């Protein structure tokens, strides 16, 4: 089998038809299946959507009533950019009750399909009418527009309802009647609701954040109704951290499962996909299928360590590196030199991916990095505090980025804040000297840490893109 024939699967878990055949189970999955956590938190590409698909498959196999919601980019953009919502109704409590209405309706339809005989007959018929009248896949946008139009008949702004606002929202969203029928139907069923893709269309605006905070509140409300109701919310880690800073109820958002990958897990992920490819062609993958595709070492480094060092320890980027390599290897023999050659292409992709990931928190990052390339080319990737500060000062002076976050830093010549941002997003690591000549580099994703920046290193996955070297040769 040619190495170029290896198919690693689609970058998007939703579009990968073979995902369940090489899914890697872990302790996070076990905890979620025991309903010990509600909020699934992970960085972009960490496997949230893959985990969602696995949960849906496993709970469906157990005959649970499963509701899976993945709002599209356009739906979320239309909601957060609606002028009436933004100017008059965009508070967390509004979003909470619209979400609650939408989730209960979706649950009633799903449970209604499963209920049989005389069980909660009236509620069953009610659920069936919802399915017929509104469809089993009523768009989230329709729910928001419907409630918004009802409220606008009564008042131009949410604030006009005063202390009665919660009662009005409950009435217009028909929460009491929906809740009554849900309780009638839920007694003999386990209901699982999983919401994902919430970062699509999210733009870090007050409205977008209130929309997500409202969802969190509605999940808490629902789960308090019955022990048979379980809600999972998949959310990006950086988005989640920003929400915590903007709510007074962060204590109710701490029930999180943080997705983290170690070397063993990532190695198994690759091996299982390689095994799947060989078996699909009726070829014995052997005891170590990984070594059929990759060399055992690259230079003096163990191959899997070398590869994972060039990622932020997320499956999607590791798979991207593998694709860059295997698509170019037209033989059946692992090639360390070829892997080195594709590192530059991969590194450029990863830098672009980082800018995309943080485009709403730090728009214009690509301008900053383009300027940084001119300062770091052929420079050391390991830098002393004074060296990195000199580079960042020149970036503050020269980079033509007019974004608010950057101009605020530039106006104050706040080099430390820029340094912290580069550490936060994973571009820089904090180099810590230990005893007896030992040392380690701590990146923001690895462990809780208060960086000192006495010395720093550019992360290995960005070094090729930035053109840095290990040392400056005389």
Q: Which residues does 9 contact at the CB level (< 8 Å), separation at least 6?
A: 16, 18, 19, 22, 273, 319
Residue 326 pLDDT > 50, yes or no? Answer: yes
What pLDDT is stored for residue 437 in this prediction?
62
Measured N-to-C along each axis, helices 385-398 and 415-424 cross at an angle, to the nearest 10 degrees, of 100
Task: Tell me the per-residue pLDDT of 372-401, one tens digit each, with 9 for 90 and over.
Answer: 999 999 999 999 999 999 999 999 999 999
In 3-state terms, what secondary structure has residue 127?
A: helix
Beta partners for 392?
none
pLDDT of 133 over the 70 cut: no
**Closest Cα partner for 218 from 93, 67, 52?**
93
- pLDDT by residue (tens digit) across 199-242? 888 998 999 999 999 999 999 999 999 999 999 999 999 899 88
- Structural domains in the chain, sorted by start: 38-254 (3.40.50), 263-357 (no CATH), 365-466 (no CATH)
CB 34 within 8 A of CB 28: no
Q: What is the pLDDT of residues 403-436, one digit of tens each?
A: 999 999 999 999 999 999 999 999 999 999 876 6
Contact criterion met (CB below 8 Å) for 67 and 104: no
Split at pLDDT 50, 70, 90, the class of 474 is very low
* CA dist., res. 457 & res. 380, Å (int): 9
């Amino acid at each position: 089998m040619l190495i170029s024939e290896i198919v690693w699967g689609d970058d998007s878990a939703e579009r990968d038809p073979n995902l369940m055949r090489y899914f890697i189970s872990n302790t996070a999955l076990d905890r979620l299946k025991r309903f010990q956590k509600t909020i699934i938190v992970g960085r972009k590409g960490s496997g949230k959507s893959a985990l969602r698909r696995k949960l849906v498959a496993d709970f469906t196999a157990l005959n649970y009533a499963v509701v899976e919601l993945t709002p599209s980019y356009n739906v979320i953009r239309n909601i957060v950019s609606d002028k009436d919502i933004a100017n008059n109704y965009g508070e967390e409590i509004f979003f909470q009750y619209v979400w609650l209405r939408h989730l209960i309706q979706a649950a009633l339809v799903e449970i209604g399909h499963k209920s049989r005989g005389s069980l909660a007959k009236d509620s069953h018929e009610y659920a069936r009418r919802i399915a017929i009248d509104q469809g089993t896949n009523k768009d989230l946008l329709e729910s928001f527009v419907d409630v918004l139009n009802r409220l606008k008949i009564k008042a131009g702004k949410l604030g006009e309802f005063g202390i009665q606002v919660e009662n009005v929202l409950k009435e217009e969203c028909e929460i009491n009647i929906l809740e009554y029928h849900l309780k009638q139907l839920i007694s003999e069923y386990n209901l699982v609701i999983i919401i994902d893709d919430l970062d699509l269309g999210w733009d870090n605006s007050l409205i977008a954040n209130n929309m997500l905070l409202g969802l969190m509140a509605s999940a808490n409300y629902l789960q308090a109704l019955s022990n048979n109701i379980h809600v999972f919310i998949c959310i990006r880690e950086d988005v989640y951290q920003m929400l915590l800073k903007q709510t007074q109820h962060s204590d109710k958002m701490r029930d999180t499962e943080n997705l983290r990958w170690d070397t063993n897990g990532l190695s198994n992920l690759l091996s299982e996909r390689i095994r799947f490819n060989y078996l699909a062609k009726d070829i014995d993958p052997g005891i170590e299928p990984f070594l059929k595709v990759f060399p055992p070492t690259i230079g003096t480094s163990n191959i899997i360590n070398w590869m994972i060092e060039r990622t932020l320890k997320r499956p999607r980027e590791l798979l991207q590196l593998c694709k860059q390599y295997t698509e170019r290897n037209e033989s059946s023999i692992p090639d360390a030199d070829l892997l080195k050659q594709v590192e530059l292409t991969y590194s450029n992709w990863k830098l672009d991916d980082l800018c995309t990931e943080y485009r709403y928190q730090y728009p214009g990052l690509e301008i900053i990095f383009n300027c940084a390339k001119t300062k770091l080319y052929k420079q050391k990737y390991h830098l002393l505090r004074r060296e990195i500060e000199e580079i960042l000062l020149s970036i503050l002076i020269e980079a033509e980025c007019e974004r608010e976050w950057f101009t605020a830093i530039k106006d104050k010549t706040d080099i430390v804040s820029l340094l912290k941002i580069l550490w936060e997003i994973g571009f820089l690591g904090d180099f810590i000297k230990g005893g007896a000549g030992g040392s380690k580099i701590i990146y923001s994703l690895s462990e809780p840490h208060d960086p000192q920046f006495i010395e720093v290193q550019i992360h290995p996955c960005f070094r090729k893109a930035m053109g840095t070297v290990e040392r400056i040769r005389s």
